[in-house]
Chains A and B, each alone.
Chain A
Amino acid sequence: MDQIFRKFTLSFVTVVVLYVFINNILLPESFGFGLDSYYLTLIGKYLCFAILALALDAAWGYCGILSLGHGAFFALGGYAMGMYLMRQIGDRGVYGDPLLPDFMVFLNWTELPWFWTGFDQPWFAALMIILVPGLLAFFFGWFAFRSRVSGVYFSIITQALTYALMLAFFRNEMGFGGNNGLTDFKDVLGYPISSERTRASFMIVSGLTLILFLISTSWAMTTKFGRVLLAIRDSEDRTRFLGYRVESYKLSIFVLSATMAGIAGALYVPQIGIINPGEFSPLNSIEIVVWVAVGGRGSLYGAALGAVVVNLAKTYFTGAYPDAWLYFLGSLFVLSTIFMPRGIVGVFQDSLHWLVTEKSRYRGTSSP
């Protein structure tokens, strides 16, 4: 039954990607079947959120590591991309400085801070998109898992981590644009950033990345590696006394998860056109948890679907009833936890199971 879900999600994303590739990239604009910028950006955004949800689910759903700070890794990946895009502006900024981004000129800085060097190179920026979130997760996880910090304590310190980063990034002296963040991007790899074709390309890359991560992560979960993660989730002591170094497994999946979140952030920023410290806000990280819970914790496809469903609702609600959104989000979390503990995937599987058993009295396997 999980297979049906997997096929549905993969084919759906593939169809969207192919449609946009054919109508927005291959065929000339005059054909008129291409999606316009608004929808390209919206779909691209949902795809990035789906990657983020998948990343969190790999750690939370499979290994029981509930991170309430995954937004931090997403934002760091986004900032690394933003720094590259800032350097691409060159002398086309308001102040026309060939080297310094506008906000630095505004702060009367005369030199580029050392940590901005190299970001004019796309390969360097790509490396940093993976390394910065990955290394932060490595050091943070190394200390936390070695000291056997787990459960709610781990969740709280991850929340503190993202909050601390938000406060730090708000400061102008940090050199990341303060509360305005990084914006006014002009182009990426030589292409104008807001053209429809560039937007379509980013949407396609986001879709392909989602497909790649879905396939590779769910493959990893079918190996012994995935089963050890489940064992840690279900019974950490049992796993440890079987001779598995629990902290190494936790660290591996946490770093992988943070890296995927960082890549999602890097794909998100050029499509949205801005990255600011608000992305580190604790609320963002909690929203990711809601996506996964609604979609189905422990099912990567469900998590991705949950991100899309909740964000579709968000797009509608914040437009129609802007004040009600947070109440809606809160009730969604409470209700889905009570009435569908296995999320949309669970409901889907149960009803399918019910249909099959009712129709042919076939005694199916009880576990997915």
Chain B
Amino acid sequence: MTLENQSALYLESISVSFDGFKALNSLSIAMDSGELRAIIGPNGAGKSTMMDVVTGKTRPSSGVALLSGIHDLLKLDEVKIANLGVGRKFQKPSVIESLTVRENLELAFVGNRSPLSSLLAKLSSENQDELENTCTRVGLSESIEESAGDLSHGQKQWLEIGMLLLQKPTLLLVDEPAAGMTDTETMKTADLLKSLAGSHTVVVVEHDMDFVEALECRVSVLHEGTVIAEGSHAHVSGDSQVIEVYLGR
């Protein structure tokens, strides 16, 4: 019971099935506050479905999902969960292409989200400074007035991470941040995510094993909707079941 209350994110026996196919099969996982955790697994292992459950997009048929030990995620919708401080980065970079980098970041900035208040919303100069600092942190300070649609693939990924940061989340879910990045960009992204741990709980879903190794964090291996191994990168990559799943029978 204490694990339930202590964890930043606590999932127990979560099951999701789509037309008889079990996308998640009694998945249980717990994350400490401020932890950086990598989740790996082959295609169809249930990584994205797990994110969908945590962010309220998919409702499981059974199980428990708690945020910070108090919020029952299964009773809330996407918007309420997002406003509780759960930020999600999609696999495909999804920024608002017709807006500038600055406008994208402003949109993400934490604040009142109702239509009426949005008509008169203005960022204070303090908030503007914070926005610009975040923009520098994700390496986009020179592109701040550019249209987001003109950014490179890697820059879009960073902009999305920057947007997540301004949302002031406690829990960050990051889906394949290194996809389509060059090696240098990949390593920079790993450093950025490592620097976020501590002040945020960060969950990274990834395919790229080099990237996971660079994160130097605890790794959970998913297979057929359940966790088959958990531990350091060295530990899980030596696990015989993990090798079998990854290399094929």
Contact = CB atoms under 8 A, between A and B. Distances in A.
A147 interface: no
Interface string A205-245: 00000000000000010011101101101110111111111
Contacts of A366: 147, 150
A243 B119 contact: no
Interface in B108-141: 108, 113-115, 118-121
A228 B96 CA distance: 10
Nearest to A225: B118
Interface in A164-191: none
B101 to A, nearest CB: 12
Contacts of B94: 235, 237-238
A248 B82 contact: no
B83 interface: yes
Contacts of A245: 79, 113-114
A242 B115 CA distance: 14
Instruction: Say whether chain A's binding surface is mostly helix, strand, loop, or mixed.
Output: helix
A252 interface: yes
B120 to A, nearest CB: 7
A240 B82 contact: yes
A223 B78 contact: no
Interface string B31-62: 00000000000000000000000010000000
Given A231-B107, A238-B90, A224 B78 contact: no
B83 A243 contact: yes
B96 A223 contact: no
Contacts of A242: 82, 107-108, 163, 167
Interface of A: 220, 223-225, 227-228, 230-231, 233-235, 237-246, 248-249, 252, 366-367
B210 interface: no
B72 interface: no
Interface of B: 55, 78-79, 82-83, 87-88, 90, 94-100, 103, 106-108, 113-115, 118-121, 147, 150, 163, 167
Contacts of A227: 96, 99, 103, 106-107
Given A240-B78, A245-B114, 5 more contacts: A224-B107, A225-B115, A227-B107, A240-B82, A245-B79
B151 to A, nearest CB: 13
Given A223-B118, A243-B113, A367 B95 contact: no
A242 B82 CA distance: 6
A240 B78 CA distance: 7
Contacts of A244: 79, 113
B114 A243 contact: no
B95 A238 contact: yes
A231 B79 contact: no
Nearest to B169: A243
A241 B121 CA distance: 19
A248 B115 contact: yes
A363 to B, nearest CB: 13
A249 B107 CA distance: 14
- Interface-centre pick from B107, B150, B167 (highest chain A CB count, 10 A): B107
B96 A241 contact: no
A239 B87 CA distance: 11
Given A241-B55, A245-B113, A230 B79 contact: no
Contact of A224 (B55, B79, B118, B150): B118
27 contacts: A220-B119, A223-B118, A223-B120, A224-B107, A224-B118, A224-B119, A224-B121, A228-B115, A228-B118, A230-B96, A231-B96, A231-B107, A233-B98, A235-B94, A237-B94, A238-B90, A240-B78, A241-B78, A241-B87, A242-B163, A243-B83, A243-B113, A244-B79, A245-B79, A249-B115, A252-B115, A367-B147
Contacts of B119: 220, 223-225
